[in-house]
Chains A and B, each alone.
Chain A
Amino acid sequence: MENILLRNRTIPEIGTFETYLEHGGWEAFKKAFSMSPDEVIQEVLNSNLRGRGGAGFSTGRKWSFIPKDAERKYVVVNADESEPGTFKDRELLEFNAQQVIEGAMIAAYAIQATAVYIYFRGEFWDIAHNFEQEIAKAREANLIGQNILGGDWSCEFYTHLGAGAYICGEESAMLNSLQGLLGQPRVKPPFPVMKGGGLYYEPTVVNNVETLANVPWIIVNGADAYRAIGTPESPGPKIFCLSGHIAKAGNYEIPLGTTFRELLYDLAGGPQHEGKGFKALLPSGASGPVIPLTEDMMDTPMTYESLVELGSVLGSASFIVMEEGTDMVWAAYKMAQFFKHESCGKCTPCREGTYWLNQLMTRIISGQGTMRDLEILENAATQMQGKSLCALGEFATSPILGTLKHYRAEFEAYVNGEKQKELPASKTVAVAH
Chain B
Amino acid sequence: MLQDEKYQEQIQRIFAKYPDKRSAVMPLLYLAQEAYGWLPEEALDEVAELCDIDPTQVKSIAGFYTMYRETPKGKYWLQVCTDLPCALRGADQFYEELKAYLEVEEGGTTEDGLFTVEHVMCLAACDRAPMLQCNFHYMENLDMDKMRAWIEERRAEAREKEQKS
B127 lies within 8 A of A163 (CB): no
A242 lies within 8 A of B127 (CB): yes
A158 lies within 8 A of B17 (CB): yes
List 25 A–B pairs whose Cβ atoms lie within 8 Å, in order of A's numbering: A81-B124, A82-B121, A82-B124, A85-B85, A86-B124, A90-B124, A123-B133, A123-B138, A125-B136, A161-B30, A163-B65, A163-B66, A163-B68, A164-B65, A165-B65, A177-B26, A179-B23, A180-B20, A182-B61, A242-B127, A244-B85, A249-B89, A282-B84, A286-B84, A338-B83
B126 lies within 8 A of A249 (CB): yes
B60 interface residue (CB < 8 Å to A): yes
B40 interface residue (CB < 8 Å to A): no
Contact of B26 among A180, A318, A342 (CB under 8 A): A180
A243 lies within 8 A of B126 (CB): yes
A183 interface residue (CB < 8 Å to B): yes
A84 lies within 8 A of B126 (CB): yes
B151 interface residue (CB < 8 Å to A): no
A320 interface residue (CB < 8 Å to B): yes
Given A180-B24, A182-B60, A243-B88, 19 further pairs, Cβ under 8 A: A84-B122, A85-B126, A86-B122, A90-B125, A122-B67, A123-B133, A123-B138, A126-B137, A163-B26, A166-B122, A179-B22, A179-B23, A183-B65, A241-B126, A249-B126, A320-B126, A334-B83, A342-B121, A426-B106
Contact of A241 among B20, B60, B127, B136 (CB under 8 A): B127
A312 interface residue (CB < 8 Å to B): no
A165 lies within 8 A of B64 (CB): yes
CA–CA, A125 to B77, complex, Å?
15
Contact of B123 among A123, A160, A245, A322 (CB under 8 A): A123
A243 lies within 8 A of B67 (CB): no
A87 interface residue (CB < 8 Å to B): yes
CA–CA, A342 to B138, complex, Å?
21
Most chain A beta carbons < 10 A, residue from B53, B84, B88, B120: B84
Within 8 A of A (CB), among B66-100: 66-68, 83-85, 87-89
For A424, the chain B residues whose CB sits under 8 A away are 106
B36 to A: closest C-beta gap in Å: 16
Most chain B beta carbons < 10 A, residue from A84, A282, A341: A84
A428 interface residue (CB < 8 Å to B): no
CA–CA, A123 to B66, complex, Å?
10
- Which residue on chain A has the smallest CB distance to residue B26? A163
CA–CA, A331 to B67, complex, Å?
26
B27 interface residue (CB < 8 Å to A): yes
Contact with B along A286-306 (1 / 0, CB 8 A): 100000000000000000000
A84 lies within 8 A of B61 (CB): no
A123 lies within 8 A of B136 (CB): yes
Interface size class of A (residues with CB under 8 A): 35 or more
B57 to A: closest C-beta gap in Å: 8
A180 lies within 8 A of B25 (CB): yes
A75 interface residue (CB < 8 Å to B): no
A322 lies within 8 A of B65 (CB): no
A283 to B: closest C-beta gap in Å: 13
Contact with B along A159-182 (1 / 0, CB 8 A): 011111110000000000111111
A331 lies within 8 A of B84 (CB): yes
A200 interface residue (CB < 8 Å to B): yes
For B66, the chain A residues whose CB sits under 8 A away are 163-165
A80 to B: closest C-beta gap in Å: 10
B50 to A: closest C-beta gap in Å: 11
A82 lies within 8 A of B60 (CB): no
CA–CA, A85 to B81, complex, Å?
12
A43 interface residue (CB < 8 Å to B): no
Within 8 A of A (CB), among B1-58: 17-20, 22-27, 29-30, 51, 53
CA–CA, A83 to B66, complex, Å?
16
B121 lies within 8 A of A338 (CB): yes
CA–CA, A263 to B119, complex, Å?
32
For A242, the chain B residues whose CB sits under 8 A away are 127
Given contacts A90-B125, A243-B127, A342-B121, contact A183 B64 (CB under 8 A): yes
Contact with B along A136-176 (1 / 0, CB 8 A): 00000000000000000000001011111110000000000
For B117, the chain A residues whose CB sits under 8 A away are none
CA–CA, A241 to B122, complex, Å?
14
Given contacts A179-B22, A338-B83, contact A122 B124 (CB under 8 A): no
A160 lies within 8 A of B27 (CB): yes
A99 interface residue (CB < 8 Å to B): no
For B60, the chain A residues whose CB sits under 8 A away are 182
Contact of A326 among B65, B88, B136 (CB under 8 A): B88
CA–CA, A322 to B137, complex, Å?
28
B121 lies within 8 A of A320 (CB): no
CA–CA, A243 to B68, complex, Å?
29
Contact with A along B129-148 (1 / 0, CB 8 A): 10001001110000000000
